Amino acid sequence: MTKKSPLSIAVFVSGTGSNLVSIYNAIQNGHLNAKIALVISNKSTAGGLMFARENNITAIHISPNQYDDMATYTEELLNLLKDHQVELVVLAGYLKIIPTAVVQMYKNKIINIHPALLPSFGGKGLYGKRVHQAVLDHGCKVTGATVHIVDEEYDTGGPVIQECVPVLDDDTVETLASRVLEIEHKILPKTIQLFADGKISIQGRRVFINRDEP
Ligand code: GAR
């Protein structure tokens, strides 16, 4: 069977970019049939942008703050995605809302990783360490990570993959974050590969993973 051409992806980051690195490594190791066409960040100092530049990946700083109006910003964003023939947008620690026009143009083709089991501990203002603090404050016994389809709101689209981790009695925000991050680094590349293989089908909020024929 001929190998499919790599799925062209854009990775959006706002911070360190460890999820970007996990995608990059999965591609390098031959576990993920994708190509990072570009990395986009709303923050010029994002570690993820530096990583992209060091590894010869197109890295672009673009933020609504640079534009007089949202319409121009949205158009620029759409042009970037079109110009780089992006097939899947991956939000990997990206903390800005995606404009509605982009969500509509890339319907069911934008995914996000969230460091909790949605719909718990999600929504505007709940990101990064704040999520783990909220999980500890609530006294949860399990938490985890969710990869979900992106819609017009924060963290509300249907889950594609969710995986749990235990919350231990002596956990701090840092220990919990690192246990969850380990899971994130597994399930985000895995989800992208499912898209690359054309194994995802979506009905309403429900996302199905098509199994191979026996
Ligand atoms: C990750 O834990 C990701 O799940 C989280 O930000 C971190 C980014 O880490 N995203 C959110 O909280 C989005 N709501 P990274 O920059 O090292 O990939």
State the Cα–Cα distance between residues 173 and 24, nearest whole angstrom. Answer: 26
Residue 186 counted as domain residue: yes
Residue 58 counted as domain residue: yes
Question: Could you say which of 31, 84, 114, 132 is catalytic?
Answer: 114
Residue 42 counted as domain residue: yes
Dihedrals phi, psi of 100, to nearest 5 degrees:
-55, -40
Residues with CB under 6 A from ligand 1: 13, 15-19, 92-93, 113-115, 127-128, 131, 181, 184
Exposed/middle/buried for 80, CB within 10 Å: 0-12, 13-18, 19+?
middle
Phi-psi region of 123 (alpha: psi -120 to 50; beta: other; left: phi over 0): left
From the alpha carbon of 95, which atom of ligand 1 is closest? Answer: 13
**Cα 44–chain centre separation:** 19
Nearest CA to ligand 1 atom 1: 93
Mean pLDDT of the chain: 96
State the Cα–Cα distance between residues 118 and 141, nearest whole angstrom. Answer: 15
Q: Which domain holds residue 161?
A: 7-209
Residue 171 counted as domain residue: yes
Exposed/middle/buried for 123, CB within 10 Å: 0-12, 13-18, 19+?
middle
pLDDT for 68-113, tens place per residue?
999 999 999 999 999 999 999 999 999 999 999 999 999 999 999 9
Check if 114 is active-site. yes
Residue 51 counted as domain residue: yes
Three-state DSSP at 122 gives coil
Residue 106 counted as domain residue: yes
pLDDT for 56-72, tens place per residue?
999 999 999 999 999 99
**Cα 15–chain centre separation:** 12
Q: How many domains does the chain have?
A: 1
Nearest CA to ligand 1 atom 12: 127
Nearest CA to ligand 1 atom 8: 93
Q: Where are the beta strands (DSSP E) in the chain?
A: 7-13, 34-41, 59-61, 88-91, 110-114, 142-149, 159-166, 200-203, 206-209
Residues 6+ apart with CB under 8 A from 29: none
Ligand 1 center to 129 CA (angstroms): 9
Candidate of 13, 18, 49 to mutate for ligand 1, largest count of ligand atoms within 8 Å of Cβ: 18
Residues pairing with 184 in the sheet: none
Residue 1 counted as domain residue: no
Ligand 1 center to 11 CA (angstroms): 12
Percent of the chain with pLDDT over 90: 96
State the CATH number of the domain containing residue 48: 3.40.50.170
State the Cα–Cα distance between residues 94 and 112, nearest whole angstrom. Answer: 8
Give the pLDDT of residue 211.
84
Give the pLDDT of residue 212.
74
From the alpha carbon of 115, which atom of ligand 1 is closest? Answer: 4
Residue 162 counted as domain residue: yes
From the alpha carbon of 180, which atom of ligand 1 is closest? Answer: 2
